[in-house]
């Protein structure tokens, strides 16, 4: 934004004053368009927003959600105390608790792999070598322990996102074997026996999984609320900044108007006559607008009535 001294006129070069002021008006017009866009954005936001919720502290007073949000940012952790772990998938909140559950499940998988009947399930089924021509027609999603282990150790974000995904794949290993092989075959019996043992171990871990899932839902809801508060604060800042810039722009426009008025020379008699004729020939609606403009800076001027007296020299 230009400062007032830049608008001062130059007595020695009136033409340069006009060009400079014209350029400044163009800049002001561009600024007005920008501010108008921001004002409309803020108005639209406040017209559609939901009122932010507040919660009561132990003392009974209301605690601002923004204060909580700041506290979380400063501590670098989620509100339940778990530090966010670098390298976790962005789709979930990965905490040390979740890592511990993954480790415990890895122990279960290792125990299952060490069972004497686990050997048929350790590697992908050798469909070609065993001549199982219809295997992929019956089994739509093959699975084995080595594939699960590789998924658990993936570092590129393509691995499992939670313990239940691993659990589902381990069950799939045994379900595939039981689906493809008749219930009287050894593979079917081995798969059914190992599945029962696996389910027993899973039930021991399940309470911890349920607890962590509840914590994650709470954390996600908390993060969503804080993001909404941050979004709200950004609009409040935009509204304040826009209001300040509008006030500043009005000051510059007023200064420019005063300088332009100072620059204006007195009208000649011929010009007064031409202006009078021009005003008289305006359509009623345009004439009313012209009279309103004159009345803005002339409190004693009466813009209404069948006959209006206009002192040209006073303008």
Weakest-pLDDT range from 63-67, 96-100, 107-111, 218-222? 63-67
| DSSP-based three-state secondary structure for 166 | helix
Average pLDDT over residues 281-307: 76
Q: How confident is the model at residue 214 (pLDDT cuts 50, 70, 90)?
A: confident
> Which is higher by pLDDT, 125 or 299?
125
CA-wise closest residue to 121 among 186, 205, 204 = 186
- pLDDT given for residue 82 in this prediction: 42
* Between 294 and 113, the higher pLDDT residue: 113
Contact by Cβ (8 Å): 177, 120: yes
The per-residue pLDDT for range 237-246, each reduced to its tens digit, is: 878 888 888 8
pLDDT digits (tens, 9 = 90+) for 150-159: 998 888 777 8
What's the confidence (pLDDT) of residue 286? 84
What are the b/e assignments for 191-214, b being 16+ CB within 10 Å?
beebbeebeebbeebeeebeebee
**Alpha-helical regions (H) of the chain:** 14-48, 65-75, 96-113, 135-138, 145-152, 163-180, 186-263, 269-280, 284-296
Instruction: Report, as an integer, the average pLDDT of 72-89.
Output: 43
Domains of the chain: 80-227 (1.20.920.10), 269-315 (no CATH)
User: For the whole model, what pTM was predicted?
Assistant: 0.48
pLDDT band at 73 (very low <50, low <70, confident <90, very high): very low
Segment 12-41 mean pLDDT = 76
pLDDT value, residue 227: 82
């Amino acid at each position: 934004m230009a400062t007032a001294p830049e608008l001062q006129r130059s007595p020695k070069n009136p033409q340069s004053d006009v060009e400079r002021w014209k350029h400044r008006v163009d800049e002001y017009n561009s600024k007005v368009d920008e501010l108008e866009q921001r004002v409309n954005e803020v108005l639209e936001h406040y017209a559609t927003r939901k009122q932010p919720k507040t919660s009561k502290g132990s003392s009974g007073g209301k605690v601002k959600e923004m204060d909580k949000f700041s506290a979380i940012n400063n501590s670098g952790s989620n509100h339940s105390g778990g530090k966010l772990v670098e390298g976790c998938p962005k789709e979930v909140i990965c905490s040390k608790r979740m890592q511990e559950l993954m480790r415990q499940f890895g122990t279960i998988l290792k125990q299952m792999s060490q069972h004497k009947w686990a050997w048929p399930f350790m590697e992908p089924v050798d469909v070609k070598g065993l001549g199982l021509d219809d295997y992929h027609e019956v089994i739509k999603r093959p699975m084995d322990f080595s594939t699960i282990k590789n998924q658990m150790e993936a570092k590129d974000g393509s691995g499992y996102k939670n313990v239940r995904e691993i659990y589902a794949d381990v069950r799939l290993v045994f379900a595939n074997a039981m689906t493809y092989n008749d219930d009287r075959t050894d593979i079917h019996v081995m798969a059914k026996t190992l599945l029962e043992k696996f389910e027993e171990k899973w039930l021991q871990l399940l309470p911890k999984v349920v607890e962590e899932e509840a914590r994650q839902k709470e954390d996600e809801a908390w993060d969503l609320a804080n993001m909404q508060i941050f979004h709200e604060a950004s609009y409040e800042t935009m509204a304040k900044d826009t209001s300040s810039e509008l006030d500043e722009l009005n000051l510059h426009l007023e200064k420019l108007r005063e300088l332009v008025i100072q620059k204006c020379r007195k009208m000649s008699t011929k010009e007064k006559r031409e202006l009078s004729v021009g005003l008289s020939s305006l359509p009623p609606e345009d004439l009313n607008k012209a009279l309103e403009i004159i009345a803005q800076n002339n409190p004693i001027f009466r813009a209404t009535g069948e006959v209006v007296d206009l002192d040209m020299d006073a303008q």
